[in-house]
Amino acid sequence: MGLVHDAQAGVRLIRKAFVQRRARAELAERLAQAPELEPGKYKIAVYFADSRVNMYQIRQWYKPLVELSKTWPVVILSRSPVGASVLLDESPLPVAYVRTVLDLEDTIARQDIRIVFYVNQNTRNFQMMRYGRRWHVFINHGESDKMYMTTNQFKAYDYALVAGDAAVARLSKVLWDYDLDKRAIKIGRPQADFYSGELPYTPDERTVVLYAPTWEGDRAAAAYGSIASHGVDLAEAILATGRHRLIYRPHPRSGVVDEEYGAANQRIIKAIEAANAADPSAHHVYDDGPELGWQLSAADVAIVDISAMVYDRLAAGKPLLITHPVHPEAEIDRGGYLSACEWLYQQDAARIVSILDDLAHDQAAAQRLEYWVHHYFGDITPGVTTRRFHAAVQHLMDEWDRFAALHSKDDSTLEHGDGTDSEDSDAILTD
C-alpha cells in the first residue's frame, strides 16, 4: 500500500508541475500582448498568492473593491500562474502577475502602494510583508465563528478590518497583548451592499427558498453537510407545494468523498428538472454559478449548513434556518449565533413547509435575528457598511500621510529585500 500511495503522490506532483508549466506558457503569451500598468497609479494592492482552488476568497471582494477603486485605484498582485490566468479572465480590477520576488519588487517600485490587503493566511503573505512604509491589512474572506477567525496570525498585520462586535469579542478572548481598539477596525460586511444580480426568473407571488448546503466534509468534526440527511426530503417537500420557488446552490465539492452524498445531490437536481418540466412557470433554480449575491437578497428564507453561508446570509438580515448536523462528532460552536439560531433537525426536514410558514410569523425569532445581525455586522442599512469600509481606508491613508511626514528624511535603501528567494517562492506554487 505504501508503494502505491507513493506512486499516486508522485503522479499528482507531476500533474501539478505540468499544469503550472502550461499555465506559465499561456500566461506569458497573454502578458506579452497586455498593456503595462500605468506607473504610479495604484495606491492599494490586494495580495493573492493562491491559485484556482481559493479563488472564491477574492471573488467576494470584487464589487466592494471596484467601488473603492473609484477613489483609490486598486490592483491585484497575483503570485500563481494559474491564479493569474483566472484573474485576468474574470477580475474587474487590474491584475499584475508577480511570480518571483524580483517581479514583486519591480511592481512595487513602479507604483505608490500604501495599503496592501490580504484575503487569507497564505504562508507567502510574509514575502509581501517584508516591505515597510505601507500598511498591511487583513480583510479576510468572510465572517464566522471558526477557529480560523481567532488565529494569532492576526498580529502579523498592521491592521485588520473586521465585521463587528462579535469579531472583536472573539479576538479579545484569544489574542494576548493585542490593541483591538487601534488595530481592529469594524466595517460590517461591504459585500452585503452588493447582494444583487440578474435573476434567472421573473419574480412573482411564490415564496423563494434558498437551500445552500455545504459538502460532506473530510472528517467527522467537520461533517456539516446536510444533502444526504435533510436535503432530499426538504427539497421534494418544497418543490411539491406549487407556492414556493427553490434555489438550490450546493457546494461544488458535494459528493467528492461520499458517494451517497453525491447521489443525493443528483436526486435533488433531477427533482428540480422534473418540477420545472411539470410546471415551467415555477422556475426552480439549480445554481452552480461562480457569483454569490443575488441568491442571498432574493430569497425570502434561506436554509444553510454550518458554513460561511450562515454569516453571508446573516449579513442580509433576512430569515434563515440552519441544518443541525447528524454526525455526533460534528463540532458546533454554540458561543455565538449558533447558540440562538433556528435549527432544522433531520427528523423535521420532510415537514419543512409548515416550519417555513411558522417562521414567517414568528416575532420572537425575528427579534433574535435582529439582535444577532447587529452583533455581527452592526448597521446593515444599504450603503452604511460601504461607507464604513471607505472611512477605514481613508483613516489608513491619513495615517500613512502622517507617518510618511514623520519619516520623510529616513533612508529608503532598506525598503526592498535582496531577492535571493525569488525562485524559491515559485517552488511551492500549487493548483
- Quick: pLDDT tens for 158-170: 999 999 999 999 9
Using the predicted structure, report yes or no on whether residue 343 has a pLDDT greater than 50. yes
Instruction: Quote the pTM value.
Output: 0.86
| Mean pLDDT in residue range 218-224 | 92
Which DSSP letter does residue 122 get? Answer: -
Q: For the segment 291-320, what is each residue's pLDDT rounded down to a tens digit?
A: 889 999 999 999 999 999 999 999 999 999
Catalogue all structural domains in the chain, each as residue range(s) with its CATH number.
8-188+384-428 (3.40.50.11380), 207-377 (3.40.50.2000)
pLDDT at 202 over 50: yes
More confident residue, 250 or 418: 250
What grid cell was written down for 58?
477574492
Higher pLDDT, 196 or 343: 343
At 268 the pLDDT is 98
Model confidence at 22, in pLDDT bands (50, 70, 90)?
A: confident
Nearest partner of 191 among 364, 57, 339, 11, judged by Cα:
57
**Above pLDDT 70, what percent of the chain?**
90
Counting other chains too, the contacts that 365-372 makes at CB distance below 8 Å and 24 or more residues apart are: 365/319, 366/319, 368/340, 369/314, 369/317, 369/319, 369/320, 370/317, 372/314, 372/336, 372/337, 372/340, 372/341
More confident residue, 28 or 8: 28
At 426 the pLDDT is: 40
pLDDT at 29: 73
- Average pLDDT over every residue of 86-113: 95
Neighbours of 35 (CB within 10 A): 6
Q: Identify residue 61 by its one-letter amino acid code.
A: W
Rounded to an integer, the average pLDDT of 418-426 is: 44
| Distance between CA atoms of residues 430 and 82, nearest Å | 9
pLDDT category of residue 428 using cuts at 50, 70 and 90: very low
- Averaged pLDDT for residues 78-101: 94
431 or 267: which leads in pLDDT: 267
What is the model's pLDDT at position 423? 42
What is the pLDDT, as a whole number, of residue 230? Answer: 98
User: What average pLDDT does range 317-340 have in this prediction?
Assistant: 94
Of 3-17, 19-33, 131-145, which one has max mean pLDDT?
A: 131-145
Could you give the 3-state DSSP secondary structure of residue 305?
coil
